[in-house]
């Protein structure tokens, strides 16, 4: 059964949140999801662009009070 | 369509430029783009083994911000790029000769793939895109 884990990367600067996401995805199983929380403004555009480039899926992206939550599903 | 490798020639030891090179190299490597980094001249000095972050990095305004904010360490970023992507790092053989250094004992551990001469790096870089920092 697919799992979802949360990575709280708030306070980390570019490209820290992206690298944390990638490290988590590397250990995850195909179908698992990672919910990345980032206060880095670039993450909202960087992470979908990175997912499109390497072939993972952005499931949700939402702005909260001072941070973004981006949920990525490992697709391969 | 295969992607062109990215070749980075890092010449400056200024913290801001080492940081930028680390960001470009690591993000490109984890984005399925092969990366090779050739570190030469003053740029090799921050990679000396055993230095603290305060000793390692010198720079200006953004250097001060990097040192006081939660910005990823440049050496750590290069390491992550190697671990998570396809990336190689080469130390300039001229600088190693001048400093009487070798990769295995004088440079940051598990980071460099070996020494390389400029002619070899430039020849390899003809297969991709080269940027100099």
Please confirm whether the linkage preceding A15 is cis (ω < 30° from 0): yes
Using a CB-CB cut-off of 8 Å, the residues of chain B touching A17 are none
CA B98 to chain centre: 19
Separation in Å, CA of A16 to nearest CA in chain B: 6
- The range of the structural domain enclosing residue B96 comes to 6-132
Output the pLDDT for position B95: 97
Q: How many domains does chain A have?
A: 1
Residue B64 maps to a domain: yes
| Contact between residue B11 and residue B40 where contact means Cβ atoms under 8 Å apart | yes
pTM for the whole structure:
0.92
Using a CB-CB cut-off of 8 Å, the residues of chain B touching A20 are none
* pLDDT tens, residue order, chain B (133 aa): 689 999 999 999 999 999 999 999 999 999 999 999 999 999 999 999 999 999 999 999 999 999 999 899 999 999 999 999 999 999 999 999 999 999 999 999 999 999 999 999 999 999 999 999 9
Output the pLDDT for position B5: 98
- The range of the structural domain enclosing residue A67 comes to 4-73
Catalytic residue among A2, A14, A54, A75: A14
Lowest mean pLDDT among A40-44, A56-60, B114-118: A40-44
CATH number (domain holding residue A29): 3.30.110.40
Output the pLDDT for position B11: 98
Residues 30-49 of A with CB under 8 A from B: none
Residue B102 maps to a domain: yes
Residue B87 maps to a domain: yes
Contact across the interface for B77 and A12, Cβ inside 8 Å: no
Separation in Å, CA of B45 to nearest CA in chain A: 23
Residue B1 maps to a domain: no
Output the pLDDT for position B70: 87
ipTM of the complex model: 0.86
A18 touching chain B per CB within 8 A: yes
CATH number (domain holding residue B42): 3.40.1260.10
Q: How many domains does chain B have?
A: 1
CA angle B102, B45, B84 (to 5 degrees): 80
Residue B51 maps to a domain: yes
């Amino acid at each position: 059964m697919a799992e979802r884990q949360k990575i709280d990367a708030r306070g980390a600067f570019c490209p820290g949140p992206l690298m944390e996401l990638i490290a988590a995805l590397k250990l995850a199983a195909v179908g698992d999801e990672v919910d990345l929380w980032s206060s880095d403004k670039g993450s909202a555009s960087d992470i979908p662009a990175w997912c499109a480039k390497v072939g993972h899926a952005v499931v949700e992206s939402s702005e909260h009070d001072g941070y973004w939550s981006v949920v990525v599903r490992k697709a391969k | 369509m295969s992607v062109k490798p990215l070749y980075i020639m890092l010449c400056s030891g200024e913290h801001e430029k080492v940081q930028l090179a680390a960001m470009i190299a690591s993000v490109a490597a984890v984005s399925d783009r092969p990366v090779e980094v050739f570190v030469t001249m003053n740029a090799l000095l921050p990679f000396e083994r055993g230095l603290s972050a305060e000793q390692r990095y010198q720079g200006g305004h953004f250097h001060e911000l990097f040192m006081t904010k939660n910005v990823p360490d440049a050496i750590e970023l290069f390491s992550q790029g190697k671990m998570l992507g396809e990336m190689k790092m080469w130390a300039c053989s001229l600088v190693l000769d001048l400093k009487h250094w070798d990769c295995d004992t004088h440079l940051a551990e598990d980071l460099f793939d070996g020494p390389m001469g400029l002619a070899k790096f430039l020849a390899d870089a003809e297969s991709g895109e080269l940027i100099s920092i």
